[in-house]
Amino acid sequence: MKVKLITHTPNPEQTIAVAARLCYSPATIDEVSEMLTPEKAAKFVEMLGDLGHDSPVEHVTFTFGIEDVSRSLLAEITRHRIASFSVQSQRYVAENNFSYVVPPAIADIPEAAKEFQLAMAEDQAHYERLADMLRAKHRAAFEAEGMTPEAAAKAAEKRAIEDARFVLPNACTTKIIMTMNVRSLRNFFHLRCCNRAQWEIRALATEMLRLCYGVAPHLFQKSGPSCVSGPCPEGKMCCGKTAEVRAKFAALKG
């Protein structure tokens, strides 16, 4: 898994503090900005967090580049609907010698790891054979319609991999660019940094939080699974490791 913070709203804590302070001030926007030093902005952001006043944090966004994650993770992360996603397309990009994610529980068992690798190799072979069959069919059809051989080959390639991709596994890796505002990110961290979250998206969320905290520590001071800033909301489903989890995220934030 590769995670990179590509860009974010400049001066995120200052931006949020100005937006929130403006609601209660007769001053102009420029005057409010001048009054809020970085230190005052940091304190104001912390106060907003304590009050649960979250709407101003929607003015700030973070954009991440995510690579070498599974299509299974893609299905989970796109459930977070207040976000923007750009994903490498299997309709337009052929999955020749596709890479894949191996679940740690499978990798830990030699026999299971071997079985998994065989399944991936079979999927690759089926994908390539299906693509070849479809490519030949569509190329002949396009040429019969009057296309030049070159144009027919290009159109047939896209049409072929569009359907051949149906045989690809959830383990197949993908690349994502994702943008979220801070309010959505905090919710994402509450849900996906939790021990009960699926292991791959939990690892992704934890790394994203580390990157966000490095840019705006006051903004993400209480971020992480819900038990970092309050009681565990999982009831009987609680992992029972609240102290351990809190120590983990305290260390992550330095």
Q: Which residues are catalytic?
A: 192
Burial class (CB in 10 A: 0-12, 13-18, 19+), 89: exposed
CA torsion angle 130 132 133 136 (round to 10): 150
Which amino acid, one-letter code, is at 184?
Answer: S
Backbone angles phi, psi at 93, to 5 degrees: -115, 120
Q: How many CB atoms lie within 10 A of CB 97?
A: 7
Q: % helix / strand / coil in the chain, to the nearest 5?
A: 60, 15, 30
> How far is 216 from 36, CA to CA, in rounded Å?
16
> How far is 217 from 210, CA to CA, in rounded Å?
10
Query: Half-sphere exposure of residue 196, counting CA atoms within 13 Å on the CB side?
Result: 15
